[in-house]
Amino acid sequence: MLDKYPAAITPRWRNSALEKLCVGETSSWRNSELEKFRAGEIPGWRNYALEKLRAGETPRWRNSALEKLLARETPRWRNSALKELRAGDTPLWRNSALEKLRALETPRWRNSAVEKVRAGESPCWGNSALEKLRAGDSVLEKLRTGETPRLRNSALEKLHAGETPR
C-alpha cells in the first residue's frame, strides 16, 4: 500500500501515521484509551459521574432542584406566581388582558378594525383595493378589454415606437 503513496506525495506528518495503520498499530495517544475500552473500563473523567449514578446519587448541580421537588416545594422563581394562582389572582402582567377578556372587550388596536368590519366597511389599509374591486376597476378587466394597466403603458408605448425601455 505504501507503494501507491510515495513519500514525495504524502506530507511528512502523514507518513508515520500511514505506516502505523498499514502495520495495524494505533497512534500512541489512542492506545491507552483503546486498551481501557477493551478491558471494559471507562475513561477517568467519566468515572466520577458514573459511580454516583450507580450509587443512586445525582450530580451536585441537580441536587437542589431534585430535593425541592421531592419535598413538594417549588423553585424560588415560581413561588410568587404560584401563590397568586392559589389565591385566585393572576400575575400582574396578565391582569389587564384578562380583565378585557372578561368584559368581552377587544384590545384598543383591534377595536377600529372590528367596528369597521361589523359596519360592512373594510379597515383603512384595505379600502383602496376594495373600492376598485367594487367599481370593477380591476387589472383583470382591463386585460380582458385589451387595455394595459397604468404601470405597463409607458413601456408598451416605447416598444411600439421602436424604443427600448430604460
Enter the pTM of the model: 0.14
Nearest C-alpha neighbor of 127 from the set 135, 52, 63: 135
Question: φ and ψ at 106, to 5 degrees?
Answer: -105, 150
pLDDT at residue number 15:
64
pLDDT at residue number 116:
72
Give the separation between CA 42 and CA 46, rounded to whole angstroms. 7
pLDDT at residue number 63:
61
DSSP designation for 2: T
Per-residue pLDDT of the chain (166 residues; tens, 9 = 90+): 555 655 556 566 666 666 766 666 655 555 666 677 667 666 665 666 667 777 777 666 556 666 766 666 666 656 666 666 666 665 555 666 666 666 665 556 566 666 777 776 665 555 566 666 666 666 666 766 776 656 556 676 777 777 765 6
pLDDT at residue number 44:
60
Helices (H), the chain: 12-23, 28-38, 44-54, 60-70, 76-86, 92-102, 108-118, 127-135, 139-145, 150-160
pLDDT at residue number 51:
73
